[in-house]
Amino acid sequence: MVTSKGYFGPFGGIFVPETLVPACRELAIAFQRCRKDKKFLSEFHSLLCEFAGRPTALTFCQNLSKKLGCKLFLKREDLAHTGAHKINNALGQALLAKHMGKTRLIAETGAGQHGVATATASAKLGMKCDIFMGTVDIERQKPNVVRMKLLGANVIPVSSGSKTLKDAINDALRDWTASVETTHYLLGSVLGPHPYPGMVAFFQSVIGREARKQILKEAGQLPDAIIACVGGGSNAIGIFNAFLKDASVALIGVEAGGKGISTHHHAARFADPAAGRPGIIHGTKTFVLQDKDGQIANTHSISAGLDYSAVGPEHSFLRQLKRAQYGFATDGEALEGFQALSKEEGIIPALESAHAVGYLLKHKSNFKNKLVLINLSGRGDKDLDTAVKEIGLDN
Ligand SMILES: *Cc1c(COP(=O)(O)O)cnc(C)c1O
């Protein structure tokens, strides 16, 4: 649904310094060429199947379905290599960069998940890799820092500003301005300037294509509702895309409600009308959490992957069109989803994905007798420390 200039209705576009416009343009042209190139697509498909473990399973949740009075299926992105959907996009962009003749990948990372996916793709494709990461995040996310180093990536500490994700993005963009001849900037979600939002959606759309086939085969019908958590929004767009034309399928994105919408400690760009408004951030026009002067607001979520002040422009447009609807789950509701899925189904989800489960638990009366498909974006191994702290499992 993206225009050639990168607009989704009034959202999207290219809002970058003039020095970066040629890089975005070169990338857009290369992507247009590769998305139609049989050789590129078949290489991408092989990487997804032989390296990343696709197709991922579709799992029927017998126990939770009985409890909730609906029929619940999960699309199991937690089973993809490195434990989440992020690998789909990392492999797609790394391969594209290689076809463009680039030899080096750079990326920003907050919790380290996108850094690990990028380092993995760059090891597989034999490219150099530099990951920008705030010093506060380096301290908080040691295991992922070790993973990236093992995978051969160089982790570059960023000590400006709040020493977290948004500062790492600024440094990565600055690096790219100076290094674009050899370097591709591998962005992690459906965010940033054109062509990133549409391109990341394209690389993630394999999720929805597989899920559509699988659920038609397993259940003999399309789902009544699809629920996915929304940070930047790439796993949600990845599954929504294949169902956009099926008007009977409700598409539901779940944002991080943090400690509650009224507390302002959340990352719910759509659910908080006082703070979520269209604005421009990191190269794109979309819904951004901001104060009344337009300063980007700080966000809070128990899950690092949902803790970002903006949402991808395509989601802003789907919401305006009323094709998708957006709700939220608080930290506490996500923890309930986290425990329910673990105990009832034997699947420990990422805390991000647990927001989708928490949303279903909270609104279960809306889904009586419905066929519900949740995109389980990742696995929860990375969240065990948080779980111990929040649930109190260590005694
Ligand atoms: C990064 C991440 C997310 C959030 O990113 P989206 O672009 O919104 O999909 C969600 N779930 C998991 C497991 C993640 O690692």
Rounded distance between C-alpha atoms, residue 223 and residue 235, angstroms: 17
- pLDDT, one tens digit per residue, over 86-120 is 999 999 999 999 999 999 999 999 889 999 999 99
Pocket test of ligand 1: the residue of 74, 75, 78, 86 to mutate, having most ligand atoms within 8 Å of its CB, is 86
Question: Which sequence positions are flagged as catalytic?
Answer: 61, 85
Domain 9-49+85-201 has CATH 3.30.1240.10: no
| pLDDT, averaged across the chain | 96
Tokens of 153: 């990536």
Residue 232, ligand 1, Cβ within 6 A: yes
Q: Which of 176, 112, 179, 180 is nearest to 149 (CA)?
A: 112
Q: Using the mean position of ligand 1's atoms as its centre, give its distance from the Cα of residue 191 in Å.
A: 12
pLDDT at 204 over 90: yes
Give the model's confidence band at 392: pLDDT under 50 very low, under 70 low, under 90 confident, else very high.
confident
Rounded distance between C-alpha atoms, residue 149 and residue 34, angstroms: 30
Q: DSSP string of 274-298?
A: TTEEEEEETTEEEEEEB-TT-PBPP
Pocket test of ligand 1: the residue of 79, 269, 377, 381 to mutate, having most ligand atoms within 8 Å of its CB, is 377
pLDDT at 395 over 80: no
Question: 260's torsion region: left (phi>0), alpha (psi -120 to 50) or beta?
Answer: left
Q: Using the mean position of ligand 1's atoms as its centre, give its distance from the Cα of residue 259 in Å.
A: 19
Would the CATH topology of 9-49+85-201 be identical to that of 53-83+205-392?
Answer: yes
Rounded distance between C-alpha atoms, residue 121 and residue 111, angstroms: 18
Contact status, residue 159 vs residue 182, Cβ threshold 8 Å: no
Q: Using the mean position of ligand 1's atoms as its centre, give its distance from the Cα of residue 189 in Å.
A: 8
* Residues present in the chain in total: 395
Question: Alpha-carbon torsion 336, 211, 285, 168, what sign?
Answer: positive
Q: What is the arrangement of strands in the sheet containing 183-185, beginning at the earlier edge strand?
A: 154-158, 128-134, 104-109, 183-185
Residue 81, ligand 1, Cβ within 6 A: no
Q: Using the mean position of ligand 1's atoms as its centre, give its distance from the Cα of residue 40 in Å.
A: 25
Rounded distance between C-alpha atoms, residue 161 and residue 372, angstroms: 42
Question: Alpha-carbon torsion 85, 90, 93, 94, what sign?
Answer: negative
Residue 207, ligand 1, Cβ within 6 A: no
Q: Whose CA is nearest to atom 5 of ligand 1?
A: 231
Rounded distance between C-alpha atoms, residue 254 and residue 330, angstroms: 10
* Mean pLDDT (whole number) for 55-84: 98
Q: What is the CATH number of domain 53-83+205-392?
A: 3.40.50.1100
Q: Whose CA is nearest to atom 2 of ligand 1?
A: 305
Residue 231, ligand 1, Cβ within 6 A: yes
Percent of the chain with pLDDT over 70: 100
**Position of tokens 């948004």?**
166
> Distances from the Cα of 85 to the Cαs of 89, 324, 363, 390, in angstroms?
8, 21, 25, 25
- pLDDT, one tens digit per residue, over 143-169 is 999 999 999 999 999 999 888 888 899
| Ligand 1 atom having least distance to the Cα of 353 | 11
> Is residue 337 helix, strand or coil?
helix
Residue 112, ligand 1, Cβ within 6 A: no
- pLDDT, one tens digit per residue, over 314-341 is 999 999 999 999 999 999 999 999 999 9
| Ligand 1 atom having least distance to the Cα of 189 | 7
Which residue has better confidence, 222 or 274? 222
Please name the amino acid found at residue 87.
I
Domain range summary for the chain, segments of one domain joined by +: 9-49+85-201, 53-83+205-392
> Is residue 364 helix, strand or coil?
helix
Q: Whose CA is nearest to atom 1 of ligand 1?
A: 305
User: What value does the CA radius of gyration of the chain take, rounded to a whole number of Å?
Assistant: 19
- CA angle (46, 49, 53) in 5-degree steps: 150
Pocket test of ligand 1: the residue of 200, 235, 307 to mutate, having most ligand atoms within 8 Å of its CB, is 235
pLDDT at 189 over 80: yes
- pLDDT, one tens digit per residue, over 222-252 is 999 999 999 999 999 999 999 999 999 999 9
**Position of tokens 């999207």?**
12
Rounded distance between C-alpha atoms, residue 221 and residue 356, angstroms: 22
Q: Using the mean position of ligand 1's atoms as its centre, give its distance from the Cα of residue 18 in Å.
A: 30
pTM of this structure: 0.97
The CB-side HSE value for 66 (13 A sphere, CA atoms) comes to 4
